[in-house]
Amino acid sequence: MRIFANANYNFIRWRWHALIVSLVLIWVGVATIFIKGGIPRGIEFTGGTAIVFRFAQATGEDVVRRAVDKVSKEAVVQQYGNPADHEIVVRVPMRPGVEQGRSLEEDARKIDEALRAENVGQFEIRSRDIIGPVMGQDYTSKGIWATVAALGGMLVYIAFRFRFTFAVGAVVAAFHDILITLVFLTWFGYDLTLNIIAALLTITGYSVNDTIVVFDRVRENQRLPQNRREPLDQIVNKSVNQTLGRTVITSGVTFLAVFSLYVFGGEVLRGFAFTMMVGVITGTYSTVFIAAAIAIILSRRPAAQVQATTQTTPRARRRA
């Protein structure tokens, strides 16, 4: 199946527009995060209690929330898993200034008692996870280092395989995808959890892999005799068009897969799937506009310079 077989779109013409749009979007998102006091983090990073209740019959979140509010106003009540299973998860963040083990155990016990006192129906506790702040800090540190190590390794590999300017373009594009995804997670009210960290690392690799495909085609086109007099921006634009069909098909199939996870995967996978959906879109966008634009800007090979070089080359050969 081939689509965009003879594509000839001038993507590079819009590189400055794309960079401006991305910068505006990131700055608006950063301002939103700052106003909200930071990115909301799950109990894996802040410490707290997560209890999954299975009810004998359908029970609304509002009913459970009214009972849980008597224990903690900051508790998060959400539908969990398949709605047919009548499961609801209650997440209670750790209270500051209270001994961690005692606080978490006491919260779990009080929530159980509050639900029974409110007569919400028969239920059983399916699981109970208690995470202390020390473990949360450890998860935070490992998540940051995993992201930095992934980006650093990609920078070294692409610089060795292609050229340093291409490596910088790929890493900037991957960093761009992470920032845009975090912005959308904040706007749509998702907490930063271990599942979302895993999704961020996945889209980082996905974005860089897509970028490498374009850069590999750029290198092949630069070696062709008929392309040696062309400036880099024209070669990059030609390479993006040549790989456009592959990019659209790969991104489209991946998006359909993660969209299915978002619809049918339940609450556990919803944050992961949403992150992947945003990442696939931004990864495709950054491959076409951001990575290529950064590589061209850093290379600083305008058409006039290339023409001057090609005009002086025959003279130099005659003198030799």
Domain segments of the chain as ranges = 12-38+136-310, 48-131
Rg, the chain, Cα only: 26
Which residues of the chain carry a pLDDT beneath 70?
1-2, 4-5, 95-104, 132-136, 300-320
Q: Give the alpha-carbon dihedral of 253, 258, 263, 266, to 10 degrees.
A: 150
We find that the CATH architecture of domain 12-38+136-310 is: Up-down Bundle (1.20)
pTM over 0.85: no
- C-alpha to C-alpha distance for 92 and 104, rounded to whole angstroms: 8
For 251-269, write each residue's pLDDT tens digit.
Answer: 899 999 999 989 887 777 8
Percentage, residues of the chain above pLDDT 70: 86
**Which architecture characterizes domain 48-131 according to CATH?**
2-Layer Sandwich (3.30)
Chain segment 5-45, per-residue pLDDT in tens: 677 788 878 888 888 999 999 999 889 888 877 777 777 77
pLDDT of residue 111: 83
